[in-house]
């Protein structure tokens, strides 16, 4: 005899004892006399903006033994309700679960949300009994019933105005439940070998259910982690017992689950282009010291106010036009397109989005300007920023000079040496430049030091982060300031060239701000293939690169405020990165990119130093446009994207490459790489420290 058979037999025996005292007719009379109509539980169990939680009153179970005394089930139910539960499940089985109909009565009287009678229900009597005791929902276990019996009990449940939660374990049981007309199906996805809940198994089981069936994840929900997993796997609602029944603070425990469900739903119900943090799928968040939360909250609040204020947009647009020089052109590149044709055999039309023509020579000014206007709004007087190669530092120093803000730029000592001219440029603009001598003395160390400054001086200081990484609200906010790139490109393609939409977009990805900027306007247009290229350095096998997305490179982790992909060693310590382009040389990547990779919307690849430098020369010599080495990774990527488009059947695709910055700053590196300089000239550059690379 199985455990289930045993439980069912016991339940029937107990029922007979009750029936002897209260015959079925008496129950039926009670039901007829009762004024109360059951609640339509289906309306509680599927919500557009949340994953309803069915919280269970559970004292014990055969698998776990005693869990909790629960002397006052009504009080517990009220705590669940206050925590945001959508329904209360009451175990009425007395032998192994130590429940009773008294519990059901007490809970019914205490709450206004649907109440589930959970028992081993196999007879009509038990269903009448549930109704007489005020249940809105009952549990039917497919494994305990044959098809006819299941159908009959389902029909009776409906006749009495109640809803049945039909529990299943296998694909076959689900098919039986659906055939019998079940419209709320619980899936128990526990692997019976190790009791582990297998979300993949759940997703597989839930996969081909009719759309109008409400799916309840029934087992192994302990906390927020499982709710998120089930939510992503398609569960409409979850049932949780022990995780809330044995918690110290029941209300808080339920509330954590409700919040987790809302997070998942918020992320699923929004168009891709309109996602707001803190989470992009499972990525993002605020992994920062508590000391920064007040400042981040303030920034979020002020930014939301600004977003809703037409005056802010007017001022931003005015400065974009009159100061930055927007819009930046969309330039057709027919001679470069020819080069792609030679290499791939297809004949694309190629357009370049010219962020290199912005004031300060890169897209970085878009974000620096937007945030600096927020600094004014917040009434702060001091700005700090990090910079790798100097492009973001220069943009920040520039807007601070324009708006009269005190400015300090943190730069790793190695970067500061490589980019001595940019250091001078920032100082010329009135900024203080601090060379960071800690750690590896590169970009990430500059960010660490900027964060330490911010923690200390947060009252009057704003941290003007340069990319779509870091804690919320930076990834969404920086994206918003950069998305003008794609919006312009889309319009220009239509107005200037009469082309409705591009077939492909190529961008380089360091932290990812220029890539998000050009891609955002196209995220919800499936006709547009999106390609992001990371810095391949000497290639993924060399260990000297900044590729976070390729297999065997980045792993999930938290870095500098966000959960994303991260280059780390076996201990979780951050790895050194390498790229010829300092602007792409970063161990992690913006959380929105991690999410776009996970959902398969953007194809991420990489370009090695060599590929990028060849593309740098190709574009310079075919079009007379010198891209930054960072942007050259996007140009190199265009060859790869074209090959992919060819494989997809395109013959004359329209491609846009984002030229995120100009390459003047990279002349020393290029001169050396291609041997354009005599030894004496190279040495002279070496001495002045004008050596460099830089932007993303």
Partner 1 sequence: MTNETTTPSGQPLGISHRPSPTEAMFDRFRAENKPAFIGYLPYGFPDPDVSLDALRTMVEHGVDAVEIGLPYSDPVMDGPVIQAASQIALNNGESINGVFRAVETVANAGGVPLIMSYWNLIYHYGVERFARDFENAGGAGLITPDLIPDEAGEWIEASDRHGLDRIFLVSPDSSDDRLEIVAKNARGFVYAASRMGVTGERDTISASPERLVERTRKAGAKNVCVGIGVSTPEQGAKVGAYADGVIVGSALVHTLLADDDKTPKDRAEGLRDLAAKAEALADGIHRAR
Residues tagged active-site: 364, 386, 660
- Segment near partner 1 (CB under 8 A), from 291-299, 337-345, 413-421, 514-522? 291-299
197 vs 374, which CB is nearer to partner 1?
Answer: 197
| Residues of span 520-559 touching partner 1 by CB under 8 A | 555-559
Interface segment toward partner 1; rule CB under 8 A; list 38-46, 222-230, 370-378, 385-393: 222-230
> Hey, is 60 helix, strand or coil?
strand
C-alpha to C-alpha distance for 85 and 62, rounded to whole angstroms: 25
Q: Considering only residues 19, 22, 95, 222, which one is a binding residue for partner 1 as defined by CB under 8 A?
A: 222
Interaction of residue 221 with partner 1, rule CB under 8 A: yes
Element (H, E) at 147: helix 147-159
How many alpha carbons lie under 13 Å from residue 415 in its C-beta half-sphere?
40
Which of these ranges, 87-95, 158-166, 280-288, 375-383, lies near partner 1 under the rule CB under 8 A? 280-288
Question: By C-beta, is 69 or 679 nearer to partner 1?
Answer: 69
Choice from 448, 529, 603, 669 touching partner 1 (CB under 8 A) = 448
Answer positive or negative: Cα dihedral of 104, 113, 138, 188: negative
The minimum distance between CB 1 and partner 1, in angstroms, equals: 15
Binding mask 59-78 for partner 1 (x = CB under 8 A): ---xxxx-x-----------
Bridge partners, 574 (sequence order): 568
Min dist. Cβ of residue 48 to partner 1 (A)? 23
Task: Tell me which stretch binds partner 1 (CB under 8 A): 150-158, 424-432, 457-465, 537-545.
Answer: 457-465
249 binds partner 1 (CB under 8 A): yes
CB of 436 to partner 1, least distance (A): 11
The verdict on 10 binding partner 1 (CB under 8 A) reads: no
Tracing tokens 């991690």 back to the chain, one arrives at: 594
The closest alpha carbon to 628, from 655, 664, 656, belongs to: 664
CB of 622 to partner 1, least distance (A): 42
Among 456, 494, 542, 688, binds partner 1 (CB under 8 A): 456
- Run of H or E including 110: helix 101-110
Peptide bond into 33 cis (omega under 30): no
Instruction: Tell me the C-alpha distance between 631 and 696, whole Å.
Output: 7
CB 571 to partner 1: min, Å: 6
Nearer to partner 1, 450 or 516 (CB): 450
Q: Please give the Cα distance from 241 to 359 (Å, whole number).
A: 60
When computed from its CA atoms, the radius of gyration of the chain, rounded to whole angstroms, is 31
CB of 56 to partner 1, least distance (A): 13
Asked if residue 377 lies in contact with residue 458, where contact means CB atoms within 8 angstroms, the answer is no
- Least distance (Å) from partner 1 to the CB of residue 294? 5
The answer to the question of residue 252 lying near partner 1 (CB under 8 A) is: yes
Binding partner 1 (rule: CB under 8 A), the pick from 52, 73, 220, 470 is 220
With CB under 8 A as the contact rule, the residue among 100, 246, 273, 620 that binds partner 1 is 246
Q: What gap in Å lies between CA 280 and CA 191, rounded to an integer?
A: 29
Determine contact, residues 542/609, Cβ cutoff 8 Å: no
CA nearest neighbour of 51 among 188, 186, 236: 236
The answer to whether residues 116 and 54 touch, using CB atoms and an 8 Å cutoff, is yes
Q: Is 267 in the site for partner 1 (CB under 8 A)?
A: no
**Nearest residue (CB) to partner 1, 437 versus 681:** 437
Size of the site for partner 1 (CB under 8 A): 63
247 is an interface residue for partner 1 by CB under 8 A: yes
Burial annotation 87-109 (CB, 10 A radius, 16+ → b, else e) = bbbbbbbbebbbbbbebbbbbbe
Shortest reach from residue 558's CB to partner 1, in Å: 5
Contacts of 174 (CB under 8 A, 6+ apart): 168, 185, 187, 205, 209
Residue 294 DSSP SS3: helix
455 is a contact residue toward partner 1 (CB under 8 A): yes
Contacts of residue 539, defined as CB under 8 A and 6 or more positions apart, other chains included, come to 545, 608
Rounded CA-CA distance 447/436 in Å is: 10
Least separation in angstroms between CB 227 and partner 1: 9
CB under 8 A: which stretch of 132-140, 245-253, 605-613, 683-691 binds partner 1? 245-253
| Closer Cβ to partner 1, 403 or 455, answer by number | 455
Whether the bond between 105 and the residue before it is cis, its omega within 30 degrees of 0, is no
Q: Which of residues 100-139 bind partner 1 (CB under 8 A)?
A: none
- Residue 102 contacts by C-beta under 8 Å, 6 or more apart in sequence? none
Binders of partner 1 in range 196-215 (CB under 8 A): 196-197
Choices 12-20, 47-55, 195-203, 541-549; region in contact with partner 1 by CB under 8 A:
195-203
Residue 675 token pair: 């041997």
- Shortest distance, CB of residue 402 to partner 1, whole angstroms? 29
Report the distance separating Cα 528 and Cα 597, nearest Å.
Answer: 15
CA dist 156 and 671 (Å) reads 84
Between residue 556 and residue 615, which ones bind partner 1 under the rule CB under 8 A? 556-560, 566, 568, 571-574
Spatial CB neighbours of 48, under 8 Å, sequence gap ≥ 6: 265, 269
Would you say 388 or 661 has its CB closer to partner 1? 388
- Cβ distance 128 to 157 under 8 Å? no
Tokens encoding 431: 């900024």
Token readout for 210 is 């009719």
Q: Which is nearer to partner 1, 556 or 647 (CB)?
A: 556
Helix %, strand %, coil % of the chain (to 5): 50, 20, 35
3 state SS of 406: strand
Nearer of residues 282 and 579 to partner 1, judged by Cβ: 282
Q: Could you say whether residue 302 binds partner 1 (CB under 8 A)?
A: no
Q: Is 460 in the site for partner 1 (CB under 8 A)?
A: no
Q: Which is nearer to partner 1, 67 or 677 (CB)?
A: 67
Q: Find the binder of partner 1 among 127, 337, 395, 451 (CB under 8 A).
A: 451
- The least distance separating partner 1 from the CB of residue 218, rounded to whole angstroms, comes to 12
Q: Which residues bind partner 1 (CB under 8 A)?
A: 3, 62-65, 67, 192, 194-197, 219-226, 228, 242-243, 246-249, 252, 256, 260, 285-291, 293-294, 297, 438-439, 444-445, 448, 451-452, 455-459, 555-560, 566, 568, 571-574
């Amino acid at each position: 005899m199985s455990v289930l058979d045993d439980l069912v037999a016991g339940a029937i025996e107990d029922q007979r004892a009750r029936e002897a005292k209260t015959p079925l007719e008496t129950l039926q009379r009670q039901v007829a006399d009762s004024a109360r109509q059951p609640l339509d539980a289906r309306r509680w169990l599927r919500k557009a903006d949340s994953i309803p939680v069915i919280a269970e009153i559970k004292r014990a179970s055969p698998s776990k033994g005693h869990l909790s005394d629960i002397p006052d089930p009504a009080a517990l139910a009220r705590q669940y309700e206050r925590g945001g539960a959508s329904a209360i499940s009451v175990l009425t089985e007395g032998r192994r679960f130590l429940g009773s109909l008294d519990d059901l009565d007490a809970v019914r009287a205490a709450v206004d949300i649907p109440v589930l009678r959970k028992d081993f229900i196999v007879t009509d009597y038990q269903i009448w009994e549930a109704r007489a005791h005020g249940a809105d929902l009952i549990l039917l276990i497919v494994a305990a019933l044959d098809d006819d019996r299941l159908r009959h009990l389902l029909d009776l449940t409906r006749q009495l105005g109640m809803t049945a939660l039909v529990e299943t374990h296998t694909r076959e049981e689900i098919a039986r439940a659906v055939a019998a007309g079940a419209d709320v199906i619980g899936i128990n996805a526990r692997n019976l070998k190790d009791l582990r809940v297998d979300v993949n198994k759940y997703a597989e089981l839930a996969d081909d259910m009719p759309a109008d069936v409400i799916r309840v994840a029934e087992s192994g929900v302990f906390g927020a982690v499982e709710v998120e997993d089930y939510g992503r796997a398609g569960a409409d609602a979850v049932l949780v017992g022990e995780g809330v029944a044995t918690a110290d603070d029941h209300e808080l425990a339920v509330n954590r689950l409700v919040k987790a469900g809302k997070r998942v739903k918020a992320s699923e119900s929004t168009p891709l282009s309109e996602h707001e943090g803190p989470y992009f799928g499972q990525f993002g968040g605020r992994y920062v010291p508590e000391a920064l939360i007040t400042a981040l909250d303030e920034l979020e609040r002020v930014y939301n106010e600004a977003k809703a204020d037409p005056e802010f947009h007017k001022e931003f647009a005015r400065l974009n036009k009159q100061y930055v020089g927007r819009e930046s052109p969309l330039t057709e590149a027919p001679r470069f397109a020819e080069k792609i044709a030679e290499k791939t055999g297809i004949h694309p039309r190629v357009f370049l989005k010219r962020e290199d023509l912005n004031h300060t020579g890169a897209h970085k000014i878009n974000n620096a300007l937007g945030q600096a206007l927020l600094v004014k709004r917040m009434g702060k007087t001091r700005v700090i920023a990090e910079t790798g190669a100097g492009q973001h530092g220069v943009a920040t120093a520039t807007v601070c000079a324009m708006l009269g803000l005190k400015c300090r730029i943190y730069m790793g000592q190695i970067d500061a040496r490589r980019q001595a001219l940019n250091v001078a440029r920032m100082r010329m603009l009135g900024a203080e430049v601090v060379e960071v001598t800690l750690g590896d003395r590169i970009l990430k160390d500059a960010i660490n030091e900027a964060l330490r400054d911010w923690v200390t001086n947060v009252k009057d200081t704003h941290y003007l982060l340069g990319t779509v990484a870091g804690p919320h609200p930076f990834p969404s906010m920086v994206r918003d300031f950069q998305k003008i790139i794609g919006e312009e490109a889309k319009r220009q393609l239509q107005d200037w060239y009469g082309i409705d939409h591009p077939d492909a977009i190529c961008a380089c990805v360091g932290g990812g701000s220029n890539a998000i900027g050009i891609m955002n306007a196209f995220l919800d247009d499936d006709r547009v293939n999106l390609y992001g290229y990371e810095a391949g350095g000497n290639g993924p096998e060399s260990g000297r690169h900044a590729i976070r997305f390729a297999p065997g490179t980045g792993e999930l982790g938290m870095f500098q405020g966000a959960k994303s992909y991260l280059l780390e060693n076996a201990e979780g310590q951050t790895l050194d990165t390498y790229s010829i382009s300092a602007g792409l040389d970063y161990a992690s990547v913006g959380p929105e990119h991690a999410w776009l990779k996970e959902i398969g919307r953007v194809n991420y690849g990489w370009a090695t130093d060599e590929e990028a430098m060849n593309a740098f020369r190709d574009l310079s010599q075919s079009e007379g446009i010198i891209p930054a080495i960072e942007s050259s990774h996007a140009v190199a990527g265009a060859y790869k994207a074209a090959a992919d488009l060819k494989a997809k059947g395109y013959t004359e695709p329209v491609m846009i490459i984002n030229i995120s910055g100009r390459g003047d700053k990279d002349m020393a590196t290029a001169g050396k790489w291609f041997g354009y300089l005599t030894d004496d000239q190279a040495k002279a550059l070496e001495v002045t420290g004008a050596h460099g690379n830089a932007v993303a």
